Homo-oligomer: A and B are copies of this chain.
Amino acid sequence: MTIAFIGLGSMGIPMARNLMSAGFQIHGYDANPKALSVFAAHGGRPGLSAAEAAANADVVILMVVNAAQAQDVLFSDGVLDVLAPNGTVVLMATCPPGAVKSMADRVERTGRSFVDAPVSGGVAGAEAATLTIIVGASDESFQRLSPVFRALGDKLFHVGTEAGQGATVKVVNQLLCGVHIAVAAEGFALAKKVGVDPKIILEILAGSSAASWMLKDRGPRMLEEDPAVSSAVDIFVKDLGLVLDAGREAKAALPLAAAAYQMFLATSGRGEGAADDSQVIRSYNLLNQPRSSA
């Protein structure tokens, strides 16, 4: 099985490396020459273009930034045309379910297969090969790709046979994550307004039925003025944007996601999109702060 890997960023490089460690031969491409040389240094075979990397490949894995980049690679850069006639496109980037479905339709019209396989677990999961991989694909495609997925992650879920179903689950995951961060900030901001020490609140909440993974992870950083960036505000502007796109496509109302999105968006709009996502709390504090101290 020859594999082309397009998109060698902070997730893509360790994923490609884990595939090579598992014995797969990987041709790769990234528009950034520096990423491409890191890939080559790890033993990968860089292509001069996405289409050159994907020529006659059995499988092309897309780990690009978003749906627009995936569409460009497949349809404008010519990757789909050069793929083996019975080849498979595996989309692992997080994209809106509707966009995934329309890409799948266009790929399948050429007789090739499409697998919707977004991941969760971040750079740490990519490096340790402990990603959660959420797959929407036919049973046959799922079976065929399983050895590839097992080289990348240790939690593999086949959630449905249609493209877009993996993307939907990823979107629901991000819906809960984004709202859990925002509601923790909402609680701390209320406590601050009333003059209760947020450290003691965090200790109480983290041990009660109010606990969440995000409260325990982001809560301590919410209490810092300018914490180190673990994941940026703009990632949740993008991800909650995807959540709302998915709701619009499905015509499903998402009132909590919509409200949480506004708070991340306002944070980014003040020029703080590169700050740690815990700093969405600044939007709550500003919203509730008397003018003199603003």
Q: Across the interface, name the chain B residue whose C-beta is closest to A257.
A: B186
Chain A contributes a number of interface residues (CB within 8 A of B) equal to: 69
Surface stretch bound by B, among A20-28, A60-68, A73-81, A190-198: A190-198
| Cross-chain contact B190 with A288 (CB below 8 angstroms) | no
Binds B, one of A7-15, A41-49, A138-146, A259-267: A259-267
Instruction: Give bound CA distance, A214 to B209, whole Å.
Output: 6
Q: Are A217 and B207 in touch, CB under 8 angstroms?
A: no
A253 to B259, CA, bound (A): 12
- Verify A172–B159 contact, CB threshold 8 A: no
The segment from A50-58, A87-95, A103-111, A176-184 that touches chain B is A176-184
Q: Does A212 sit at the interface, judged by CB under 8 A?
A: yes
A169: interface (CB < 8 Å): yes
Interface contact A186-B97, CB-CB below 8 Å: no
* Interchain CB contact under 8 A, B255 and A190: no
Q: Using Cβ atoms and an 8 Å threshold, which residues of chain B touch A292?
A: none
| C-alpha gap A159/B249 in the complex (Å) | 46
Q: How far is the CA of A194 from the CA of B200 in the complex (A)?
A: 41
Give the contacts of A81-135 with B (CB-CB under 8 A). Answer: 97, 120, 132, 134
Asked if A187 is at the interface (CB within 8 A of a chain B CB), the reply is yes
Mark contacts of A203-224 with chain B using CB atoms, 8 A cut-off: 1 yes-contact digit, 0 otherwise. Answer: 1110111111111010000000
Contact segment of A31-39, A160-168, A268-276: A160-168
A177 to chain B, nearest CB (A): 5
In the bound complex, residues from chain B placing their C-beta under 8 Å from that of A287 are 253
Contacts of A207 in B (CB 8 A): 132, 155
Partner of A172, one of B164, B205, B214: B205
Chain B min CB distance to A155 (Å): 7
Q: How far is the CB of A235 from chain B (nearest CB, A)?
A: 12
A175 and B194 form a contact (CB under 8 A): no
A–B Cβ pairs within 8 angstroms, 20 of them: A132-B207, A159-B197, A174-B210, A175-B183, A179-B256, A180-B180, A182-B256, A183-B257, A186-B256, A190-B254, A193-B250, A194-B246, A208-B213, A211-B212, A212-B212, A212-B214, A253-B288, A255-B259, A255-B263, A258-B259
- Which positions in A face B, CB cutoff 8 Å? 97, 120, 132, 134, 155, 157, 159-160, 162, 164-165, 168-169, 171-177, 179-180, 182-184, 186-191, 193-197, 200-201, 203-205, 207-215, 217, 246-247, 250-260, 262-263, 284, 287-288
